[in-house]
Homo-oligomer: A and B are copies of this chain.
């Protein structure tokens, strides 16, 4: 087994980055033994928490402790402080950038600039930020290829549940012509409560209390989050480009308790389904819409906040994966999957 030492810089140090840090501290020995992987975090730059760079590696237990006690990263007792995100990307000895900054989903910034800068500087990038992948996955993969570095973004779709890696590696050689999925856990949770008779407003409130839904839940309930994932999957898995405006979209706010009950009588369940299909003329038909599924569809039986994705394939027919689609450790873990794949030189393809 080939060995690899990775020098990491975090751009952004929120919950996902902290979840990843916990995982690599707990799995340090296993990652070395099973994958030949030795990880050193050399720099962190966070717009709120400050910035620290120590070329020989930061003590990540001390870093977690600082952050959990609400202190600044600049209270770390050694290293260089005050580098901004772009300086951290270009002026440190990090070879791999974990881009997990707080980012606008529509513009993709500042993550898009971070990722592009890093790839052009010959640094690998792993990011769970959806914005850049939605807007420019293909261009970024091309820049990565040109600079012989890696751009991984598994965590943008179903957090750590394999979606892109499942399609590209576990199913190597297959043709996927269509996918459909439950790509948002918040809406699935709300629909599950409504199935039990809880009114929409109460179910939404409960989802917010549990941390599934944001204070402003628009992105989830109007289907915008699922829409971004449909774009990424279409780009990477179907190898086709579509724009946000090409996708018919409707959220779950128009589904009434009466609709739910009527469906139950028919032996069906309402689910918010994101889907895309390559048509005979090569164009793509994509949508995010509430659909009334028969119970024989595996997606109808996806419970609570779980996510699921069915690929329609040439050789195997439908293949479905079900797992979590969000969470700090779950999304942090997606960074680790990509890191190990990076080590094994397996990268997503860009298409033309």
Contacts and interface: CB of A to CB of B under 8 A. Distances in A.
A319 interface: yes
Contacts of A346: 169, 344, 346
From A169, A302, A336, residue with most partner B Cβ within 10 Å: A169
A74 B159 CA distance: 54
Nearest to A315: B333
A345 interface: yes
A308 B89 CA distance: 43
A198 interface: no
A337 interface: yes
Interface in A306-352: 315-324, 329-330, 333, 336-337, 339-341, 344-346, 349
Contacts of A317: 323-324
Q: State the oligomeric state as a number of copies.
A: 2
B320 A316 contact: no
Contacts of A290: none
A165 interface: yes
Interface in A283-306: 295-296, 298, 300-303
A23 interface: yes
Interface string A166-198: 100111111100000000000000000000000
A328 to B, nearest CB: 11
A345 B87 CA distance: 36
A352 to B, nearest CB: 10
Give the secondary structure class of A's interface: mixed
A29 interface: no
B321 A173 contact: no
Contacts of A169: 165, 169-170, 341, 344, 346
Given A322-B298, A322-B320, A333-B316, A170 B174 contact: no
A151 to B, nearest CB: 15
Interface in A123-176: 159-162, 165-166, 169-175
- Counting contact residues on chain A (CB < 8 A from B), the size range is 35 or more
Contacts of A345: 344-345
Contacts of A81: none
B333 A323 contact: no
A323 B330 contact: no
A48 interface: no
A174 B316 contact: no
Given A165-B169, A346-B344, A323 B318 contact: yes
A262 interface: no
Given A160-B316, A172-B341, A316-B324, 10 more contacts: A159-B316, A161-B316, A169-B341, A172-B337, A173-B337, A173-B340, A295-B301, A298-B302, A321-B321, A321-B322
Q: A-B pairs with the 4 shortest C-beta distances? A: A162-B170, A172-B340, A319-B323, A315-B333
